[in-house]
Amino acid sequence: MASQEEPIQPTYRGYGTIAPQRPAQRQRRHSWHTRPCMQEAENFQLLLRNFLVELNCRMDFLEDYGHVKYDAGVEYAYNTLLAVRESCSKISDGAIEAGRRQASVFVETLEGRYKDAMERKETLGEKVLEGIVLMDNYLTEFETRAYAIRDGSIGSYAQEFYEEGRRKMDEGIEIAKGVVDGGLDKARRARETIELRVEHAVQRALERAKAHGLIHYEDLPEPWRVNPHILKGYRFQEGKWACVRSIFGLHNELINIWTHLLGFIMVLAIAFYFYPSSANFSMSTKADIFIAAVFFFAACKCLACSTIWHTMNSISHQTLLERFACVDYTGISLLVAASIMTTEYAAFYCEPVSRWSYMCITALLGVGGVILPWHPTFNRADMAWLRVLFYCSLALTGFLPFGQLAYTRGVAWAQYFYAPVTKSLLVYVTGALLYASKTPERFFPGFFDYVGCSHNIWHVAVLGGIIFHYMAMQTMFTQALTRAQTSCSVY
């Protein structure tokens, strides 16, 4: 039986190179290993020819993995393989004595590179066999490295892909950061430019106000310009006390200030004199009086906040100007919410669950109306229609109980109940529409600068709405107290 033992690899090489360490088992076997040594010695030419054919195939395989890296000694061996293939391939297969010539060239090539290894053999056949063993060892080592490259290529490519993606992402982040930083820097510079421009305009307006007392619309800095149809009569003071003292002077805010200042005194008189003297007051419970007190408080707060705003809107500090405006809007929100709550309280006087449910919803909407005006957009001059829409929508929520009342007591009863509040509602809506549309001054700019402008009308409408609602509240409370005398058994 033919021997399957591996040929022994030489432990030395010529020219100072170090022989590679062979594994205990070969990774692959070739056909020429299966022959006995004597048979191989006799047929070394055929064996060499077969080896050279296989050498070409295996070298092509190695060349497909061009990423294999060699140290100096291994690279010398690889170059030897290339030299053997090149020198032996020049001999034509059809030439006479081609086999022996290939063997001679094969041995000469190896002796020129590994002289010590080849000198141990005497005959040409033995040297051919020794060279084949030596070359096969190198081929096996190179194939091992190539397989390792192939097995690790997926991981290495994935790592390269990850690193490249990470690098691209970092570059994108840096670019985005630069864009954002640049945008923020531009926004900051633009804001600083606007602030500087406003500051210069404030100084110019103060100088004109000191020189002339009252100034014109075009003299005002941009944030102070609200109604372009009111052309003259503007105050512009540097301090708060100057604004307060101006309530006794003649200017275009005089009517706005005094309509609500006098209205504030009127509501106090109603709350502390006329209401306690009414027939309903003696019949009212503490809860009834508390609900009425909430309405009076909201009305007084609305009128007081409005008076403060129109007194202080000539202050030359923009931050204070915007805060006083927000105070005015919060007063309106509380008045609308309190008016609705009195209606809901009277409508469901005998139904505590429905009463408190509707009143809690209205209270939450009122809180929202107090918070919303503090948003910078809400106070812009071009948002007048939005403000009117918001307050009208808030007022219309007072009619949400209408459906339940119409269902439980009939449509006629619900209409009869809400009839008293229609007067105040019509007054509010009319004043709000005139305020938002800036009528009548938009048709006669400069004619209504001191008296009769839309804001004057709006102030009178607010005061009238408060008084009309007080009268409606008295009527609704009278009906509620009448129902209570029957213990609300009908409903």
Residues marked as binding for Zn(2+)?
310, 455, 459
d(C-alpha 118, C-alpha 131), whole Å: 7
Cα–Cα distances (Å) from 87 to 17, 45, 82, in that order, read 22, 16, 9
Residues 6+ apart with CB under 8 A from 255: 450, 451, 456, 459
Taken in order 311, 313, 315, 319, is the CA torsion positive or negative? positive
Q: Is 225 left (phi over 0), alpha (psi -120 to 50) or beta?
A: beta
Residue type, position 233, single letter = G
From CA 253, how far away is CA 455, in angstroms rounded? 9
Query: Helices 72-89 and 44-64 sit at what angle, rounded to 10 degrees?
Result: 120
Peptide bond into 440 cis (omega under 30): yes
Angstrom distances, CA of residue 401 to CA of 71, 225, 357, 406, 480: 92, 41, 10, 9, 16
Binding residues: 310, 455, 459
Q: How far is the C-alpha of 223 from the C-alpha of 188, rounded, in Å? A: 19
Residue matched to tokens 């508390």 = 290
Q: What is the Cα–Cα distance from 181 to 114, expressed in whole angstroms?
A: 68
| Length of the chain in terms of residues written | 491
**DSSP code for 315:** B
Token digits of residue 23: 């594994």
- The CA-based angle 402-468-272, given to 5 degrees, is 115
Compute and round to an integer the Cα radius of gyration of the chain. Answer: 51
Torsion of CA 447, 449, 455, 461, to 10 degrees: -60
Phi, psi (deg, nearest 5) at residue 237 = -115, 150
d(CA 334, CA 339): 8
| Dist. CA 76–CA 72, nearest whole Å | 6
| CB neighbourhood size of 244 (10 A) | 13
List, in sequence order, the alpha helices (H) in 21-123.
37-42, 44-64, 72-89, 98-111, 115-119
Cα gap 323→406, rounded to integer Å? 43
